[in-house]
Amino acid sequence: MPELPEVETVRRTLKNVIIGKKIKQINVFYDKMLLNETRESFKAKLQGKTILNISRYAKYLIFEFEDVSLVSHLRMEGKYFISLSSIPYQKHEHIIFEFEDGWSLRYHDTRKFGTMEIVSKGSEFKAKGLDTIGLEPFETEFTLTYLKDKTHRLSRSIKSALLDQKIVAGLGNIYVDEILFLSKIYPGKKCLELTDNEILLIVENSTIVLDKAIKLGGTTIRSYTSSLGVTGRFQNDLCVHTLDGEPCKVCNTLIEKTKIGGRGTYYCPKCQRM
What secondary structure letter does DSSP report for 187? T
Q: Would residue 59 show up in a list of annotated catalytic residues for this protein? A: yes
User: Which residue in the set 44, 84, 87, 250 belongs to the binding site for Zn ion (CB under 5 A)?
Assistant: 250
Is 271 a binding residue for Zn ion by CB under 5 A? The answer is yes
How many other C-beta atoms lie within 10 A of the C-beta of residue 59?
25
**x/- contact string, 130-169, with Zn ion (CB under 5 A)?**
----------------------------------------
Phi, psi of 45 (to 5 degrees): -75, -20
Is 202 a binding residue for Zn ion by CB under 5 A? The answer is no
Q: Would residue 3 show up in a list of annotated catalytic residues for this protein? A: yes
Task: Say if residue 167 is exposed, middle or buried (CB neighbours under 10 Å; 0-12, 13-18, 19+).
Answer: buried
Is 248 a binding residue for Zn ion by CB under 5 A? The answer is yes
Report the alpha-carbon distance of residue 226 to residue 218 in Å, rounded: 9
How many other C-beta atoms lie within 10 A of the C-beta of residue 229?
9
Give the range of 10-18, 80-88, 189-197, 242-250 binding Zn ion by CB under 5 A.
242-250
How near is the Cβ of 156 to Zn ion at its closest, in Å?
Answer: 25
Name the residue nearer to Zn ion (CB basis): 4 or 248: 248
Given the residues 59, 79, 159, 189, the one annotated as active site:
59
Is 270 a binding residue for Zn ion by CB under 5 A? The answer is yes
Instruction: Give, for 181, the enclosing helix (H) or strand (E).
Output: helix 173-182
Query: Please, which residues bridge with residue 81 across strands?
Result: 106
Report the alpha-carbon distance of residue 169 to residue 162 in Å, rounded: 9
Is 251 a binding residue for Zn ion by CB under 5 A? The answer is yes
Is 174 a binding residue for Zn ion by CB under 5 A? The answer is no
Binding site for Zn ion (CB under 5 A): 248, 250-251, 253, 268, 270-271
